[in-house]
Amino acid sequence: MSRIILASQSPRRQELIGYILSEYEVIVSAVEETLPDGIAPEEVPEYLAGVKAQAVAAEHPDDVVIGADTVVILDGQVLGKPKDADDAFHMLRSLSGKAHTVITGCAILQDGRMTTFSDHTRVEFYPLSDREILDYIATGEPFDKAGAYGIQGRGSVLVKRIEGDFFNVMGLPVARLKREMERVKALPRQTQGDRI
């Protein structure tokens, strides 16, 4: 029986996939995340999810591999993980008082066939003072997160409202992923329907 492998080092994704699966393994992709020229910002997460899944599946062709990638898009620009505190400050300053889109792309690879999809959530921030931003950066939370914030942590106090899937902003749209896995028959029968 094939294993299900999550190709992500994100502790948040590892927690969330546990809502769907009672058993899975984590194997992190070491692939370089380079983008093709001219790719639209909205296509980035689905593309990178596929690249990660394919890299792990190349070493584990008999297993089901799930890849995921999350980006924050503001005014047509992709905001990734901040490089340092200054970068985090500029990202959070640009998000202050505005709405942005969080997109998580997912890829399910099994038997050499890949299924991909993306989920979109609209997030609006309160206007933020420089002191609020600096205090948040001092927590250390922004540095491993797209857009320099974590909605499930202390970054929750920055968020005015969301439209869409909360878990998508965390990094994995679990309800949609469960249904896609059922559709392509990648979800083991004994876990279907009993975790969510």
Q: List pLDDT tens digits, range 127-181.
A: 999 999 999 999 999 998 999 999 999 999 999 999 999 999 999 999 999 999 9
Is the pLDDT at 72 greater than 70? The verdict is: yes
Read off the tokens for 107. 């890829």
Q: What pTM does this model have?
A: 0.90
Tell me what pLDDT residue 1 has: 65
Q: Is 144 a catalytic residue?
A: no
Q: How confident is the model at residue 57 (pLDDT cuts 50, 70, 90)?
A: very high
For the chain, list the domains and their CATH numbers.
4-191 (3.90.950.10)
The catalytically annotated residue of 37, 63, 69, 135 is 69
Report d(CA 143, CA 15) in Å as an integer: 19
**Which class for 2: exposed (0-12), middle (13-18), buried (19 or more C-beta within 10 A)?**
middle
